[in-house]
């Protein structure tokens, strides 16, 4: 008769590490370990300390717009390689790799929808695609978003999360700053509002163009917002920057933005702003 061991089989250390994978999650900010579901249910905000982790563009559409109201536009626009740019790899290869990894064609999602019943044009940067960098496709999508808003008589909402202009497209990416701002100017002349939401991070050519030109400029808590990074600025001016420099709270204190809205309050905050501007 076979004997049954009273001791359970030993679990290898490497196997132990995988047992809780996907079940628990540690906050990078406060170090608290919580159930992963708690982060998801709280819109990727740490329930313990309120730290805002990055939310996908698709997630923003879901929490801002009325269910089932979103219609994507300009989804088929694709980047060209006008400069034949090569760094560690040719630009077309880098774009293809980003598409495979991110599951999207470029760094911006634009479309029509409704916010508490109000028709709006919404655009959201997709940071997981080349750091949300703004090339010709992103600039064109933003320009068309402003133009649709003007043609339809609807407000525009744009959520920025970007490292700035895409260096692989050189001056053509920088031209998107002027092109998108010109389209925004036409929206403004039509008397239609633009709500700009600055997420973490909003930097470079995006910060230097339309991101600060909203009729209302909102930001998430602790979002990094500015043109050049703090380290570059310190090396240039050879001075130590103030604590919290370029964070949303610093910008609010110095009049650069109008309000900081925690993510769970963003939908209501935008809706209230549009109500003041339109009703």
CATH of the domain at 170: 3.90.226.10
Going residue by residue through the chain (279 aa), what tens digit of pLDDT does each one get? 444 444 544 545 544 444 455 799 999 999 999 999 999 999 999 999 999 999 999 999 999 999 999 999 999 999 899 899 999 999 999 999 999 999 999 999 999 999 999 999 999 999 999 999 999 999 999 999 999 999 999 999 999 999 999 999 999 999 999 999 999 999 999 999 999 999 999 999 999 999 999 999 999 999 999 999 888 899 999 999 998 999 999 999 999 999 999 999 999 999 999 999 998
For the entire predicted model, the pTM comes to 0.89
Domain presence at residue 31: no
Contact 247, 225 (CB under 8 A): yes
Q: Tokens 């509002």 sit at which residue? A: 193
- Tell me whether the omega of the peptide bond preceding residue 88 falls within 30 degrees of 0, making it cis: no
Q: Which domain holds residue 250?
A: 54-278
Domain presence at residue 43: no
Domain presence at residue 5: no
Domain presence at residue 23: no
Domain presence at residue 258: yes
- Per the DSSP assignment, residues forming a β-bridge with 115 are 118
Query: What is the per-residue burial (b if ≥16 Cβ within 10 Å, else e) of 113-123?
Result: bbbeebebbbb
Length in residues, the chain: 279
CA R_g for the chain: 22
- Tell me whether the omega of the peptide bond preceding residue 201 falls within 30 degrees of 0, making it cis: yes
Rounded Cα distance, 204 and 43, in Å: 27
Count of domains in the chain?
1
Rounded Cα distance, 88 and 148, in Å: 38
Domain presence at residue 41: no
Domain presence at residue 245: yes
Rounded Cα distance, 157 and 146, in Å: 9
Rounded Cα distance, 133 and 167, in Å: 8
164's tokens: 């700035």
C-alpha distances out from residue 200 to 58, 147, 218, Å: 16, 26, 12
Domain presence at residue 27: no
From the DSSP assignment, how many helices (H) and strands (E) are in the chain? Answer: 10, 10
Distance of CA 52 to the CA centre of its chain: 12
């Amino acid at each position: 008769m076979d004997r049954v061991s009273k001791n359970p089989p030993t679990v290898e250390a490497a196997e132990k590490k995988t047992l809780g994978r996907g079940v628990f999650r540690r906050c990078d900010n406060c170090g608290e370990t919580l159930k992963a579901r708690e982060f998801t249910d709280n819109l990727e905000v740490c329930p313990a300390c309120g730290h805002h982790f990055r939310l996908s563009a698709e997630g923003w559409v879901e929490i801002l717009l009325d269910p089932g109201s979103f219609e994507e536009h300009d989804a088929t626009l694709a980047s060209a390689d006008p400069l034949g740019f090569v760094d560690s790899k040719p630009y077309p290869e880098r774009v293809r790799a980003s598409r495979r990894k991110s599951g999207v064609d470029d760094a911006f999602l634009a479309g029509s929808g409704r916010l508490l019943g109000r028709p709006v044009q919404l655009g959201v940067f997709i940071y997981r695609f080349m750091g949300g960098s703004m090339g010709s496709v992103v600039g064109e999508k933003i320009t068309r978003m402003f133009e649709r808003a003007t043609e339809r008589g609807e407000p525009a909402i744009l959520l920025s999360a970007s490292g700035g202009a895409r260096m692989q497209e050189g001056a053509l990416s920088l031209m998107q700053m002027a092109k998108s701002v010109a389209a925004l100017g036409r929206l403004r002349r039509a008397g239609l509002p633009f709500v700009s939401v600055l997420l973490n991070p909003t930097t470079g050519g995006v910060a230097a163009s339309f991101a600060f030109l909203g009729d209302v400029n909102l930001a998430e808590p602790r979002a990094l917002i500015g043109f050049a990074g703090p380290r570059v600025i310190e090396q240039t001016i050879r001075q130590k920057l103030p604590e919290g420099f370029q964070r949303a709270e610093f910008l609010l204190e110095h009049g650069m933005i109008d309000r900081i809205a925690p993510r769970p309050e963003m939908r209501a905050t935008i809706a209230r702003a549009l109500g003041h501007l339109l009703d």
